[in-house]
Amino acid sequence: MNKRVLITEPVIPSVIQRLENDFTVEVGERGRFNNEQALVEAIPKYHGLLPMLSNPITNKVIAAGKNLEIIANYAVGYNNIDIEAADKHNVAVANTPDVLTDSCAEFTMAILLAVSRRLVEAQEYLLDGQFESWDPMGFLGMELQGQTLGIIGMGRIGTAVARRARAFGMQIQYHNRNRVSTDIENELDARYIESVEELARTSDVITLHCPLTESTRHLIDADILALMSNKAILLNTARGPVVDEAALANALHNGTIGGAALDVFEEEPKVHPKLQNAPNCLLTPHMASASYSTREAIGMMAADAISGILNGKPPSEIPNLIQP
């Protein structure tokens, strides 16, 4: 009998086909498995699970997975999975590092430029019929050349953003659990900053690329926002709860900081109502990795981990397994 795999939502067809070569595959309807109970009921008959980052893979779900051998998340972040429960039940967990680095770094530059040059407001103005003649004082924004970019989370994505920002003439400083190698610091002329407070005080733009953990939850709170300059821009393409949304909404409305762009939210898909009408705030629906080639690569990497485990490959030969 073929082993069974559940892909919780439709993904790029070549990914589904790859798993169908070896297994009996079922694909869930969009959104159906964004709830624990639906997962608990479905999970017992599957050997492999390919969930979305919006699916809560809790202890209860994993415990119900009597046949479950592997969970391969369709994401690099895996805060939606109870890693300890998976370890306890002997279920392997995989994520998708590397393959989305360029896509996320490009997207970060896109939203940085959009906010610093006020593109969304400008289009609204034009479509609203307000463009009557060239305006010497219209839409004055921040130039990136010469500004200081503060990166929180200097992993693959943070480093890839730094490389791009250097090409725009930005100075790089970063905060991270560990200092990166001297080679990378030298390449990027990057300054390591020990405290988030100091980074907040001295950056023109702050961009978040850290995972969501207990120590990064609400890392950006009212106190940190108060240290930022009133022209500074905050970017979040990491995970929503790293930012205290209510505090950010207040900071934008009060002019404590100059602008923000958020691709992730504390309680997706909800967006704090005060952010929706905040000045100079760009909001996008968690899409930083959404290039066709990257989404296909994410799927293939998850599919390969599932095939590997279900076909009995030694875990040491599967590079993207998470060590609990």
**Catalytic center residues:** 239, 268, 286
Q: Which residues pair with 206 in a beta bridge?
A: 150, 234
Chain positions contacting ligand GLV, by CB under 6 A: 53, 75-77, 97, 100-101, 155-158, 209, 289
Local structure of residue 31 (DSSP, 8 states): T
282, containing H or E segment: strand 281-283
* CB closer to ligand GLV, 118 vs 295: 295
* CB closer to ligand GLV, 95 vs 256: 95
For the CA atoms of 29, 31, 32, 34, what is the dihedral angle to 10 degrees? 150
* CB closer to ligand GLV, 156 vs 253: 156
CA–CA distance, 9 with 136 (Å, rounded to integer) = 49
Taking CB atoms, the residue at the shortest distance from ligand GLV is 155
CA–CA distance, 21 with 6 (Å, rounded to integer) = 14
Contact 204, 230 (CB under 8 A): no
Q: How many CB atoms lie within 10 A of CB 139?
A: 11
* CB closer to ligand GLV, 111 vs 257: 111
**Cβ-Cβ contacts under 8 Å for 186 (sequence gap 6 or more):** none
Tell the smallest beta-carbon distance from residue 24 to ligand GLV (Å): 26
* CB closer to ligand GLV, 76 vs 251: 76
Tell the smallest beta-carbon distance from residue 293 to ligand GLV (Å): 14
Task: Provide long-range contacts, Cβ within 8 A and 24+ apart, for 243-248.
Answer: 243/208, 243/218, 243/219, 244/218, 244/220, 245/272, 245/275, 246/272, 246/274, 247/220, 247/221, 247/222, 248/220, 248/275, 248/278
Tell the smallest beta-carbon distance from residue 159 to ligand GLV (Å): 8
Q: Which stretches of the chain are DSSP H helices? A: 13-20, 36-42, 59-64, 83-88, 101-116, 119-127, 156-167, 182-188, 196-202, 222-227, 245-254, 273-276, 292-310
